[in-house]
Amino acid sequence: MRIRLPKGEGSGLDAVLVNTAGGIACGDRFSVGIEARSGAAVTVATPAAEKVYRSDGPVAELAVNLRLEAGTRLDWLPQETILFDRARLRRKLTAEMPDDASLTMFEAVVFGREARAEHIAKGLFEDCWRIRRGGRLVYADTLRLGGSIADLLQKPSVGKGARAFATLIHVAPDAEARLETVRESISSINGCDAAASAWNGLLAVRFCAMKVEALRAAAVPFLLAFRREPLPRVWLS
Residue spans of the domains in the chain: they are 2-232
Residue 116 amino acid letter: R
Residue 226: DSSP 8-state: H
Share of the chain above pLDDT 70, in %: 100
pLDDT at 220: 95
The structure's pTM equals: 0.95
All residue ranges of the chain with pLDDT < 70 are: none
Name the CA radius of gyration of the chain, rounded.
17
pLDDT at 7: 85
Give per-residue pLDDT as tens, 18-42.
998 889 998 999 999 999 999 999 9
- What residue ranges in 136-192 does DSSP mark as E strands? 136-147, 164-171
pLDDT at 106: 98
pLDDT at 40: 95
pLDDT at 119: 87
Sequence-distant (6+) residues with CB within 8 A of 198 are 175, 176, 178, 179, 204
pLDDT at 195: 97
CA distance 177 to 199: 10
- Contact 54/27 with Cβ under 8 angstroms? no
3-state secondary structure at position 5: coil
